[in-house]
Structure 1
Amino acid sequence: MRENSAWLTPYKGRRGLVNTAIHSTGDYSLIAVSRNIIIVIIIIVVVVVVAAPWYTVKWLG
């Protein structure tokens, strides 16, 4: 156990904050973050495109 803790402690010291941030967001890489942002943008665009005619009809009607 002592060897494992000695091997993990420096890694935990350097990467602890990074790992905490990663686990709190649920993203494991910058690629995953950018991919999620792209997905969110696509969803927003689709929702706006679908909702815009409905809102227009509602405003006019």
Structure 2
Amino acid sequence: MKREYDFAKGERGKFYSPEGKHNLPVYLDSDVRRFVEDVAKKKRCDVSTVVNRMLKSDMRRTTG
């Protein structure tokens, strides 16, 4: 890495997009993680899909 970088020709906000999608890091307790991984393996899908389905189901129950 250089000691200094010249940003004189830099353009502020060049790659900024207000509609940009950002994924949030979610840290699960180890027992929850194992459970979700087991469910994902049994259903042959990824962990994100399992977590999203569980959360959406809970949302429907909570607001329904």
Which TM-score applies when normalising by structure 2?
0.32
Higher relative contact order (CA 8 A, sep 6+): 2
* More helix per residue: 1
Q: Return the TM-score normalized by structure 1.
A: 0.33
Q: Which has the larger radius of gyration?
A: 1
